[in-house]
Amino acid sequence: MKRLLISHVADEDGITPVILANLVFKDIDKLLLEPTEVDSNLLENIDKYDEIHITDLNVSEELAKRIDENPEWKKKIKIFDHHKSNLGLNRYDFITVIDDGENRKESGTSIYYNYLLGISDNEILHKQVTKDFVNEVRLIDTYDFKNKEDERAKNLDLLFSILGRENYINYFTKYLEENDEFKYREEEMFLIKLEQDKVDNYIAQKLKEMFRVKIDNNNVGLVFAERYRSQLGNKICEKFDDLDYAVIISISKSISFRGKDKLDLSVIAKDFGGGGHKNASGAPLPKDLLEKVSKLIFPNIEFEKEKEEE
């Protein structure tokens, strides 16, 4: 059986399903995407595979309806999502969206893990170290650790920043294979401490660069940042209680919205073509943003026209 996993490229919650899928399926292809890339990539691959899993992402309402009306497509696709803005897609039986589970927030990883537990007797999948690892990913992605002060989850986020996607997959695949307990060694804690110092210095600088602005009569802290956007956004909300939410713009990636229970940011992000959760959402950048910025800096700039395909 040919299988494909499509997951979110941005963070641990999108990358960890790759590790879990590798444990259960001997041969499964992977695509790591941004939310705006899901529809086109799924349509390109939907007839090439017997089974397709989508984690921490979802399809558009239009594509969901097309899949629902196509029996061949419908039986091969399973979607595992946790974004509040996509709860309405639960009406399609091939889509599972869980924001609040039983007394806890769920993540794409935790929902997918529970599905795999039900279909596989893989020994590593059922180990306590794997259960703990999945929970740490859930905590950091949902910021549930803010209520439990789970330093281990915060440290996992720092390790992800250090390792990057591929090294994270390889490192923790081996970690789950070789360990029975989830804990950090001395050398890992040394790296975590170095990364935490970098984060603290970066955030301190970005706080100085933050603009206070009004957006639709809301008080907003706006800052341009390419790294540590979740940590930065949450720090802004903690430090400046008078702000309704924070906006972090990565000029090369996307827009992040962060809040502290004052507004539903999934609704705000939807107005900009995005979505997510109440206190953590995102949206894509305008397609012509880089061109506009370039023209602002260089008023006389001329862009070469794309060569027509022969």
pLDDT of residue 308: 44
pLDDT of residue 306: 55
Residues 136, 213, single domain; the answer is: no
Residues 225, 98, single domain; the answer is: no
Residues 39, 146, single domain; the answer is: yes
Residues 20, 160, single domain; the answer is: yes
pLDDT profile of the chain (310 residues), mean per 10: 94 96 94 94 97 97 97 97 93 94 86 96 96 94 70 90 94 95 93 96 97 96 94 94 96 92 93 90 89 92 65
CB 27 within 8 A of CB 3: yes
- Does residue 304 sit within a domain? no
pLDDT of residue 307: 43
Residues 89, 178, single domain; the answer is: yes
- Does residue 147 sit within a domain? yes
CB 8 within 8 A of CB 57: yes
- Does residue 223 sit within a domain? yes
pLDDT of residue 117: 96
Q: How far apart are the first and last CA of the chain?
A: 38
Count of beta carbons in the 10 Å neighbourhood of residue 236: 25
- Does residue 238 sit within a domain? yes
Q: Which two tokens stand for residue 256?
A: 């992040």
- Does residue 40 sit within a domain? yes
CB 245 within 8 A of CB 265: yes
Residue 49 domain boundaries: 3-187
Number of folded domains that form the chain: 2
Show which of 140, 160, 187 is a domain's final residue. Answer: 187
Cα-to-chain-centroid distance, residue 272: 17
